[in-house]
Structure 1
Amino acid sequence: MRALGGNLLLRVSILQVSILQVSVLRASGSAANRCFCQVTGTLDDCACDVETINAFNNNLLFPKLQKLLESDYFRFFKANLNKPCPFWADNSHCGLRDCAVKPCSPNEVPEGIQSHSHNKYSAEANEQLYDCEKAELLGAVNVSLSEKTREALQSWKNYDDEAERFCVTDDVDSPDSQYVDLLLNPERYTGYKGPQAWQIWNSIYEENCFKPYTIQRPLNPSAFYTHQGKEARAFYSWLEGQCVEKRAFYRLISGLHASINIHLSARYLMDDTWYQRKWGHNTSEFRQRFDSEVTGGEGPKRLRNLYFLYLIELRALAKATPFFQRPSFQLYTGRPEQDRKHKELLLEILQLAKSFPLHFDETSLFAGDEKEAAKLKGDIRLAFRNISRIMDCVGCFKCRLWGKLQSQGLGTALKVLFSERQIVDLPKSSIRRPTFQLSRQEIVSLLNAFGRISTSIRELQNFRSLLADVR
């Protein structure tokens, strides 16, 4: 009964703030109206509306999430930024100073994080698990395995783990990988642009968005960010006739693209002199990407796709809650008191995510013919893995870092969404090995990627205010 009352209060609170936001939007100037004219009401393929998401994110979830992401467990991300591009020869790394990434020295990373293995959470937890397993096996038959058999079993397990992943996470095992402090290397405008940057998005869209084979030339939705025309109308006309899974795939990529462009517009280099460098909101840059007139009516659609992406990743957090609630799970950094407090904050955020009243219904995906659904799911998984590999072709190291993190986070969210049975069947004790696992790399990318989307939603409120008086 208490939970029901809490949900009712949450709905009332969200509704009140939503009404206020709609009133502000209606009263705003023409520039704001052009960017946000269609960013209201119910989202396609969802029961949720934009106003509910704004109120929930900006007033309830965003402040708590930002605090969590500043903690040691989530601020250090391991990445190999020197991996060669697997698709084309490209040695044209960005020479701009804002493209550089400063990796951590060994003494800057908490010892507990450095001691993490791929699938376990601390040496201490490993030892406790070993003691439990050993006690259970005393007096039993000889179950020892040869080294060759152990290697084969590990190989099978790795294959099974990879089969469930929607992204490539091999950076964590690479000897060339280094830890990066995300707080010291924020995502912002770097000056990386032009043909090399567009080649990345062109590859993501053209090679992975299920283009219609009946059309002679490629449909390039990434071009919508710079011009308008028949190509845009042809692509969206084709997209509207596709199944919900293909529409969802495109909208996720478009939402990620929109989110990144919001970050670059919100943290733009506004002043660069010998005595200061000032970062701030660039409304002209924002309008170039999202103004309805400049983009031929496509800008607001991109923003709506951002909200769709938000719902997908929010739903994944809610469904992953049982995994993080297990007593055996800990945010291990080697600082017990801080680790305990941060796990409590994480669980508070996950419970808040679960309380959201209008979640995306993932059961609408892959709900048709079983064989066809399995093939489509496999195609989408391969496409997402391909996108995570394309990130190794980004010439700007800072853009590469955040591109890898956000594509891995989205891939992890999809892994969670399609692992419901394994999550529900998670063992209550630490003796039996769970069939569903998330590595630290996946956990950090999942929460930070959602943090980027949450920040984008929050920044839209800032841009609404800044554009309100622009005519």
Structure 2
Amino acid sequence: MPRPLLLQLLLGLLWRCAAASASQQPPPAASAESRCFCQVTGYLDDCTCDVETLDAFNNYKVFPRLQTLLESDYFRYYKVNLKKSCPFWNVNSHCGIRDCAVQPCQSDEVPDGIRSASYKYSEEANASAKDCEEAERLGAVDESLSEETVEAVRQWTRHDDSADSFCEVDDIQSPEAEYVDLLLNPERYTGYKGPDAWKIWNSIYEENCFKPHSVQRPLNPLATGRGENEGNLFYSWLEGLCVEKRAFYKLISGLHSSINIHLSARYLLQDTWSKKQWGHNVTEFQQRFDEVLTQGEGPRRLKNLYFIFLIELRALSKVLPFFERPDFQLFTGNKERDGEIKSLLLEILHLTKSFPLHFDENSFFVGKQREAAKLKEEFRLHFRNISRIMDCVGCIKCRLWGKLQTQGLGTALKILFSESQIENMPERGPSPTFHLTRQEIVSLFNAFGRISTSIKELDNFRNFLQTLP
């Protein structure tokens, strides 16, 4: 064989061996992007939906429309009492950081229709409003009754109204309740952290999530000193819970994850006397969601974000008949604009209705009637307690968004598990027993907007992390 040909054969053989050897080498260390998102793919536990479908549905269909809706007057003004005292422990002082402050609206800044609810756009709406006003005045009660009896009836009415409520609702008639412009007080990193912030989340996880005494491992994901094996044991235990208690933990974890994404996406990057710059802090995001830095829990937290998205998405699809009624109007005083916003609202709700892989709430609280009812009540009271913990948050801006998002999630749970009929709600005739206040409506859509924004922000963080080693 000629020497040049033999040399070519030898070189070819060496090249193939080298290639085969390289293919058997261990892969390089996972990239920063894959460490956060490698497990956040495919189907979600306890659901028939996958992450990729939710990403596409939210980012291209829901998110753009929802942002336009939430910028409207009806949804940007939220009435809330940020001065309520903590019912569980003494909050010695509020956060002194200037970014913790909230600037409430002056009375003339809020549209008249929102403040007075006096604008009605049809005879039918006027009649419906009159019925509501009569009910609120307890017009059906004989005015000759004693004050004690009238007060008792009021208490019974409040009890009936709260029977399906998953939240401790503010008394919006209180002098301390004020309107806040959510667009001028955005949720973002304020610097609120340390023992006070720790105490809030620790109380939520350790005292209100369902946890038997046999489980010693802290539920609070901020707890230190937990190894990956211990985390795996915990999730094995979690999978052994009934679906309702497992879902409760996932909802709280998903809400926590969403808040952490907001803080990482609107982080104070520069703070000088002449300029403040807010933006994405990739390092902060990694600290909360990187698989290695969180000992394997980060991707699980992100999956729980998608779980809460599915829960709130299903609630919106189910409540469509309530908003489709002709007598329901978004009163701000600008008739033309209010009509446009209601049309957009219905467009979004019909869009949520069209989603093919909804969460099935009928799988909850089934079985023996008495046991199921007891579990549902326990579930409701646990979440109601969490809504009360929001009044213990020292940072006022964090308190504002914490109250809004827990009330929004609580409203979604009320829709899903209310004893009142919603989907068969009559278009005309007697008022249905199911009712949402304006405060519940505003919190419901803004809370869903926060979850939707978090999922959209994950795309931004994926792109940032792809540039890192």
TM-score range, shorter chain: 0.7 to 0.9
2:450 equivalent to 1:452: yes
Q: Is the 8 Å Cα contact of residues 227 and 295 (structure 1) preserved in structure 2?
A: no
User: CA, structure 1 residues 420+67, in 2 after alignment: closer, same or farther (shift >3 Å)?
Assistant: farther
> Hey, what does 1:299 align to over in structure 2?
298
Which residue is equivalent to 1:214?
A: 214
Deviation (angstroms), 1:174: 2.2
How far, CA to CA, are the matches of 1:225 and 1:259 in structure 2?
21
Change in CA separation of 1:420 and 1:310 when aligned onto 2, cut-off 3 Å: farther
Which residue does 2:90 correspond to in 1? 89
Match of 1:79 in 2: 80
What whole-Å deviation, never above 9, does each CA across 1:198-226 have from its counterpart, x for those lacking one? 100000000111111224x4623333589
**Deviation at residue 230 of structure 1 after TM alignment:** 5.5
* TM-score, normalised relative to structure 2: 0.87
Q: Deviations over 1:202-253 (max 9, x none)?
A: 00000111111224x4623333589645653343232111000001000000
More divergent stretch after superposition (108-117 vs 375-384): 108-117
Residue 424 of structure 1 and its aligned partner are, at CA, apart by: 3.0
Please tell me whether residue 145 in structure 1 is matched to residue 142 in structure 2.
Answer: yes
Aligned counterparts of 2:441 and 2:124: Cα–Cα separation in 1: 17
Deviations 1:254-282, CA, capped at 9 Å, x for gaps: 00000000000000001111221100000
Which letter maps to 2:189?
Y
The within-5 A match list for 1:262-301 is 262-301=261-300
Q: CA contact under 8 A between 1:259 and 1:306: conserved in structure 2? A: yes
User: What do the CA deviations read for 1:387-438 (whole angstroms, capped 9, x no partner)?
Assistant: 0000000000000000000000000000000137511342322x51220000
How do residues 62-141 of structure 1 correspond to structure 2 at under 5 angstroms?
A: 62-116=63-117, 127-129=126-128
Query: Partner letter of residue 247 of structure 1?
Result: R
Write the deviation string for residues 331-380 of structure 1: whole angstroms up to 9, x where unpaired: 11111111100000000000000011111111111122211111110001
Give yes or no for contact 1:206–1:218 (8 Å, CA) kept in 2: no
Contact 2:404 2:443 in 1 (8 A): yes
Aligned counterpart, 1:205: 205
Distance in 2 separating the partners of 1:371 and 1:191: 46
**1:147 offset after TM fit, Å?**
5.3
Instruction: Measure, in 2, the Cα distance between the counterparts of 1:79 and 1:441.
Output: 8
The verdict on how the C-alpha distance between 1:39 and 1:224 changes in structure 2, with shifts beyond 3 A counting, is farther
**Inter-partner Cα distance in structure 1 for 2:90 and 2:455:** 36
Q: What SS does the aligned partner of 1:39 have?
A: coil
Compute the displacement of 1:169 (Å): 1.1
Q: 1:459 to 1:228 in 2, by over 3 A?
A: farther
**Number of paired residues?**
433
Contact 2:257 2:301 in 1 (8 A): yes
Alpha-carbon distance in structure 2 between the residues aligned to 1:331 and 1:257: 31
1:439 is matched with 437
Amino acid at match of 1:184: L
Find the residue that maps to 1:85 and give its secondary structure.
coil
Rounded to whole Å, the distance in 2 between the matches of 1:121 and 1:374 is: 40
CA drift at 1:124: 8.3
Counterparts of 1:372 and 1:365, CA distance in 2: 12
CA-to-aligned-CA distance 1:19-71 (integer Å, 9 cap, x gap): xxxxxxxxx97101000010000000000000000000000110000000000
Distance in 1 (CA, whole Å) between partners of 2:319 and 2:208 is 27
Aligned to 1:399: 398
Structure 1 residue runs without a partner (length 5+): 1-27, 134-141
Contact 2:78 2:439 (C-alpha < 8 Å) held by counterparts: yes
Change (3 A) 1:171 1:144: closer
Q: Is the 8 A contact 1:409 1:449 kept in 2?
A: yes
The 8 Å contact of residues 217 and 234 in structure 2, kept in 1 or not, is answered as no
Residue aligning to 1:376: 375
Relative to 1, partners in 2 of residues 1:172 and 1:123: Cα closer, same or farther, differing over 3 Å?
Answer: farther
Counterpart-to-counterpart distance in 1, 2:257 and 2:289: 9
Q: What is the aligned partner in structure 2 of residue 24 from structure 1?
A: none
Which residue of the other structure, out of 453, 466, 469, is the alignment partner of 1:468? 466
Match in the other structure for 2:357: 358
Give how far 1:307 is off. 0.1
**Gap change, CA 1:100 and 1:203, over 3 Å in 2:** same
AA partner of residue 418 (structure 1)? F
1:270 to 1:153, Cα distance in 2 relative to 1, 3 A: same
Greater C-alpha radius of gyration = 2
2:61 and 2:153 map into 1 onto residues whose CA distance is 45
The percent of aligned pairs where both chains have the same amino acid is: 64
Amino acid at match of 2:68: K
> AA paired with 1:267?
R
- Taking the aligned partners of 2:246 and 2:347, their CA distance within structure 1 comes to 32
CA distance 1:144–1:300, shift in 2 (3 Å): closer
Q: Is the 8 A contact 2:192 2:395 kept in 1?
A: yes
Contact 1:226–1:295 under 8 Å retained in 2: no
Map of 1:6 onto structure 2: none
Greater mean deviation of Cα atoms: 414-423 or 351-360 = 414-423
CA distance in 1 between partners of 2:90 and 2:110 (Å): 34
Structure-2 separation of matches of 1:396 and 1:102: 13
Contact 1:121 1:331 in 2 (8 A): no
Query: Normalising by the residue count of structure 1, what TM-score does the alignment of the two structures yield?
Result: 0.87
- Paired residues of 1:43 and 1:50 also in contact (CA < 8 A): yes
Partner of 2:12: none
State how far apart, in whole Å, the 1-side matches of 2:300 and 2:180 are: 34
Task: Check 1:336–1:162 CA distance in 2 against 1; reply closer, same or farther (3 A cut).
Answer: same
Tell me, in whole angstroms, the C-alpha distance in 1 between the residues paired with 2:165 and 2:131: 30
**Corresponding residue for residue 239 of structure 1:** 238
Residues 150, 422 of structure 1: alpha-carbon distance in 2 compared, 3 angstrom cutoff = farther
Letter in 1 for 2:241: Q
Of 388-397 and 413-422, more deviation after overlay is shown by 413-422
Unaligned segments of structure 2, at least 5 residues: 1-28, 133-138
**Residues 121, 182 of structure 1: alpha-carbon distance in 2 compared, 3 angstrom cutoff:** farther
* CA shift for structure 1 position 130: 7.0
Is residue 251–residue 307 contact of structure 2 (8 Å, CA) maintained in 1?
A: yes
Give me the whole-angstrom Cα distance separating, in 1, the residues matched to 2:108 and 2:404: 23
Q: Distance in 1 between matches of 2:120 and 2:80?
A: 18
